[in-house]
């Protein structure tokens, strides 16, 4: 099957069915890796990298990112998980599993001599139909269900993670944090920039002693011990330059004739910074945050003025603080006239700025910011790995909450949507007389992989549970009096089918829609491949420069 080098290619070429089969197997092996982490009874993976650093995680995207997947088709799935992570933030494991299953059934169909393009057409149709069905029939409006359902959605997202047992505690925390960063988008709606939720980790204590702080926590300490540790009615200046002794930029020289002038230069150097500080303090600032350094010689002025000065803050932190407090993030004190000045309007305001001790670290907390609220989560746990995993889990949950709040629409989790879609698409397929019927049927079949995997992970009998679930959904779709049954999903702890609307297992609609769309797209991408050319690395290791030298270009 390997073509002899008709084309002068330095490498291997393979085409036809073997390529497709190979791709499908690669894809399913990737899915197999993450499969066991799906669902509330999924387990974690421990990944050790070459330097021996350990990561313990349950997040599909993180697992795949840390594994070095080499196979090109498998890489598509890895990127798929990454995409889902960026777009939605949750459901990364599911999307990979669905995509792999779609490929597997498609491969079967191809082996039955159905052309890939008709499968692709069928998949596209099925995906479109499925999305339409979700939006029309399966969604619920969060406004009717209230805060409880948002908390429930966060809990669902956490249920598979290490913090599942304390999910009540963390879900409320996450919802509070997300609510705190709510900002209006100017069109009557609200946005929830979850990046404004600052997550800090400190090992020690136990997970349930994690705390939400109404304000911004900064992982820095005041520059001098003599400074006050608490300021109420803080006026905050955010600076992006150092308050060091002023010195000339590189390459600039000052030539003096009179030796006495040398002393003047020295004096001036120290004075420039002093004047700057005086200007800032005069404007009323009592908390000065800077990304650069502060010279020891300047600290005294702050101490005497009773101000807090913090050096070497992270730029991203400062930008957010500037936003939250209404301060102007200054890169220089120069104004348009070329003079140095500091206006009181540049200052941001906060009710309180304190330095507090958490674990062995000191943190600066900015509470009661004026322009918009900010929130920070301080995570505690037995060791750093635990904290890292908590952070990832909370990030996922925050994303879910954000999506739910922004779109205010949710669907039931626990395999409910997939089962409903599967039943619906099967009946939809029979209504078509074209060639796509088979592909849509296959699509319907492959969606069942989610409830199946959930049941298998929970060590429950999938062959028993999934048909039961399908039966419920079937009757909900044909009998109007049974329409409430469409919210039924799996209860994996007890191994039963139950009403997941009542049980409070929710996922954002957006997450489900994107999962289907991304998985279908990825499957199609891989299905379209029928030829693979692997180029071998060129033996020449000479650098461009040497080549150029040889060919005489540099003569």
Partner 1 sequence: MLGGGQPIIVLNQNTKRESGRKVQLQNINAGKMIADVIRTCLGPRSMLKMLMDPMGGVVMTNDGNAILREITVQHPAAKHMIEIARTQDEEVGDGTSSVVILAGEMLAVAEQYLEQNMHPLIIIQAYRQALDHALEALKDTLSVPIDINDDTQMTEVIKSCIGTKFLGQYGDLACGMALRAVRTVATTDESGRREIDVKKWARIEKIPGGAIEESCVLDGIMINKDVTHAKMSRKVENPRIILLDCPLEYKKGESQTSVEMTAETDFTRLLQIEEEHVKELCADILALRPDVVITEKGVSDLAQHYLVKAGVTCLRRVKKSDNNRLARACGATICNRTEELKESDVGTQAGLFEVKKIGDEYFTFITKCQDPKACTVLLRGPSKDILNEVERNLQDALGVARNLALEPRLVPGGGAVDMAVSNFLQQKAKGVSGVRQWPYSALAQALEVIPRTLAQNCGANIIRVLTALRAKHASGATSWGVDGEMGELADMNKLKIWEPLAVKEQVYKTAVETAVLLLRIDDIVSGSKKAKDGGEGARLPLTWEAWNKRGNLPKNIVH
Phi and psi torsions of 59, nearest 5°? -85, 120
Tell me if residue 360 falls in helix, strand or coil: coil
Continuous segment of H or E residues that includes residue 101: helix 92-111
Q: Which of 252, 332, 480, 544 binds partner 1 (CB under 8 A)?
A: 252
Choice from 9, 297, 533, 535 touching partner 1 (CB under 8 A): 297
Q: Smallest distance, Å, CB 182 to partner 1?
A: 30
Question: Hey, what are 411's tokens?
Answer: 């669907």
Q: What are phi and psi of 299, to 5 degrees?
A: -60, -35
Q: Which stretch binds partner 1 (CB under 8 A): 118-126, 171-179, 377-385, 501-509?
A: 377-385
CB of residue 185 to partner 1, shortest distance in Å: 38
Binder among 112, 136, 253, 551 for partner 1 (CB under 8 A): 253
Is residue 312 near partner 1 by the rule CB under 8 A? no
CB of 421 to partner 1, least distance (A): 28
Determine the interface stretch with partner 1 among 96-104, 211-219, 356-364, 411-419 (rule: CB under 8 A): 356-364
Cβ proximity to partner 1, 26 vs 289, nearer residue: 26
Closest to 523 in 3D by CA, of 142, 24, 84:
24
Among positions 33-62, residues that touch partner 1 (CB under 8 A) are: 33, 36, 40-41, 43-52, 54, 56, 58
Question: Running DSSP on this structure, what letter comes out for residue 177?
Answer: H
How far CA 66 is from CA of 60, 91, 519, in Å, comes to 10, 18, 21
- Give the DSSP per-residue string, 111-176: HTT--HHHHHHHHHHHHHHHHHHIIIII-EEHHHH-HHHHHHHHHHHHTTSTTGGGHHHHHHHHHH
Identify each DSSP E strand in 336-438 by its residue range: 348-358, 361-369, 375-381, 409-412
Active site residues: 59, 92-93, 396
Q: Measured from the CB atom, is 495 or 504 closer to partner 1?
A: 495
Binding flag, residue 223, partner 1 (CB under 8 A): no
124, 191, 245, 482: which one binds partner 1 (CB under 8 A) = 245
CB of 50 to partner 1, least distance (A): 3
Taking the CA atoms of residue 238, residue 240, residue 246 and residue 248 in that order, the dihedral angle to the nearest 10 degrees is -160
Minimum CB distance to partner 1 smaller for 148 or for 384? 384
Smallest separation, CB 357 to partner 1 (Å): 7
The answer to whether residues 161 and 365 touch, using CB atoms and an 8 Å cutoff, is no
For residue 332, give the 3-state DSSP assignment.
Answer: coil
Smaller CB distance to partner 1: residue 347 or 390? 390
**Of the residues 6, 7, 255, 336, which one makes contact with partner 1 according to CB under 8 A:** 255
Closer to partner 1 by Cβ: residue 1 or 548: 1
Nearest distance in Å: CB 448, partner 1: 23
Q: Does 292 bind partner 1 (CB under 8 A)?
A: no
- Tell me how far apart the alpha carbons of residues 410 and 355 are, in angstroms, rounded to a whole number: 40
Interface with partner 1 includes 273 (CB under 8 A)? no
Residue 275 in the binding site for partner 1 (CB under 8 A): no
Closest CA to 353 of 239, 229, 238: 229
Surface-to-core class of residue 447, CB atoms within 10 Å of its CB (0-12 exposed, 13-18 middle, 19+ buried): buried
Q: Considering only residues 9, 10, 11, 18, which one is a binding residue for partner 1 as defined by CB under 8 A?
A: 18
- Which residues ranging from 146 to 205 are in contact with partner 1 (CB under 8 A)? 162, 164-166, 203-205
Q: Contact, 308 vs 352, CB < 8 A?
A: no
User: In this chain, which stretch among 87-95, 384-392, 467-475, 535-543 interacts with partner 1, using CB under 8 A?
Assistant: 384-392
Q: Applying CB under 8 A, what is the total number of residues that bind partner 1?
A: 82
Question: What count of residues does the chain have?
Answer: 555
Q: How far is the CB of 228 from partner 1 (least distance, A)?
A: 9
Distances (CA, A) of 313 to 358, 374, 485: 18, 17, 54
Q: Residue 95: name the closest of 61, 67, 145 by CA.
A: 61
- Smallest distance from partner 1 to CB 390, Å: 10
Cβ proximity of 504 and 479 under 8 Å: no
Which 72-101 positions form the footprint of partner 1 (CB under 8 A)?
A: 74
Who contacts 458 (Cβ-Cβ below 8 Å, separation ≥6)? 39, 40, 41, 492, 493, 495
Q: Which of residues 440-499 bind partner 1 (CB under 8 A)?
A: 458-459
- Taking CB under 8 A as the binding criterion, the range among 19-27, 81-89, 278-286, 526-534 that sits at the site for partner 1 is 19-27
Q: Which of 132, 147, 195, 300 binds partner 1 (CB under 8 A)?
A: 300
What the block records as the tokens of 12 is 């291997």
Q: For residues 433 and 428, give the distance between their C-alpha atoms in angstroms, rounded to a whole number.
A: 11
What's the min distance (Å) between Cβ of 384 and partner 1?
A: 6
Range 409-428, binding partner 1 (CB under 8 A): none
The yes or no reply on residue 351 touching partner 1 (CB under 8 A) is no
Instruction: Based on the shown chain and the rule CB under 8 A, indicate whether residue 133 belongs to the binding site for partner 1.
Output: no
């Amino acid at each position: 099957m390997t073509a002899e080098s008709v084309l002068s290619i330095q490498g291997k070429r393979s085409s036809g069915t073997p390529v497709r089969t190979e791709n499908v197997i690669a894809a399913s092996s990737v899915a197999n890796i993450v499969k066991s982490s799906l669902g509330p009874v999924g387990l974690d993976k421990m990944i050790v990298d070459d330097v021996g650093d350990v990561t313990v995680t349950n997040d599909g995207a993180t697992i795949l990112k840390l594994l070095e997947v080499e196979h090109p088709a498998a890489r598509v799935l890895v990127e798929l998980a990454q995409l889902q992570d960026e777009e939605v933030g949750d459901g990364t494991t599911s999307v990979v599993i669905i995509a792999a299953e779609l490929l597997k059934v498609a491969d079967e169909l191809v082996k039955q001599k159905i052309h890939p393009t008709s499968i692709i057409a069928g998949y596209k149709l099925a995906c479109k139909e499925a999305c339409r069905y979700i939006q029309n029939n399966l969604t619920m409006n969060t406004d009717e269900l209230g805060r409880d359902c948002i908390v429930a959605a966060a809990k669902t997202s956490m249920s598979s993670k290490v913090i599942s047992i304390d999910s009540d505690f963390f879900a409320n925390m996450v919802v509070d944090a997300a609510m705190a960063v709510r900002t209006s988008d100017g069109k009557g709606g609200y946005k929830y920039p979850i990046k404004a939720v600052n997550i800090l980790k400190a090992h020690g204590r136990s997970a349930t002693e994690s705390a939400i702080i109404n304000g911004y926590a900064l992982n820095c300490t005041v520059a001098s011990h003599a400074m006050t540790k608490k300021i109420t009615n803080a006026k905050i200046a955010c600076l992006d330059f150092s308050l060091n002794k002023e010195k000339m930029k590189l390459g600039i020289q000052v030539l003096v004739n009179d030796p006495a002038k040398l002393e003047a230069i020295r004096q001036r150097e120290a004075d420039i910074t002093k004047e700057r500080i005086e200007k800032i303090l005069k404007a009323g600032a009592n908390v000065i945050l800077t990304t650069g350094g502060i010279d020891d010689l300047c600290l005294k002025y702050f101490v005497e003025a009773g101000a807090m000065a913090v050096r070497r803050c992270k730029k991203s932190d400062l930008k957010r603080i500037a936003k939250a407090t209404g301060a102007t993030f200054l890169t220089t004190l120069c104004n348009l006239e070329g003079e140095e000045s500091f206006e009181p309007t540049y200052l941001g305001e906060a009710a309180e700025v304190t330095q507090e001790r958490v674990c062995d670290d000191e943190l600066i907390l900015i509470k009661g910011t004026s322009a918009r609220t900010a929130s920070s989560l301080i995570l505690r746990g037995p060791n750093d790995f635990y904290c890292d995993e908590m952070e990832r889990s909370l990030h996922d949950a925050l994303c879910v909450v954000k999506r739910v709040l922004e779109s205010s629409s949710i669907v039931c989790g626990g395999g409910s949507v997939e089962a409903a879609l599967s039943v619906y698409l099967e009946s939809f397929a029979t209504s078509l007389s074209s060639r796509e019927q088979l592909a849509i049927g296959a699509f319907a079949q492959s969606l069942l992989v989610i409830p199946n995997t959930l049941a298998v992970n929970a060590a429950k009998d999938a062959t028993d549970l999934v048909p039961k679930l399908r039966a419920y959904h079937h009757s909900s779709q044909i009998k109007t009096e049974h329409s409430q049954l469409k919210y039924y999903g799996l209860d994996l702890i007890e191994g039963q089918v139950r009403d997941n609307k009542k049980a409070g297992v929710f996922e954002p609609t957006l997450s489900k829609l994107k999962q289907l769309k991304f998985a279908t797209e990825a499957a199609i991408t891989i299905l379209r491949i029928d030829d693979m050319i692997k180029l071998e690395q060129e033996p020449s290791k000479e650098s461009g420069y040497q080549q150029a030298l040889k060919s005489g270009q540099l003569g």
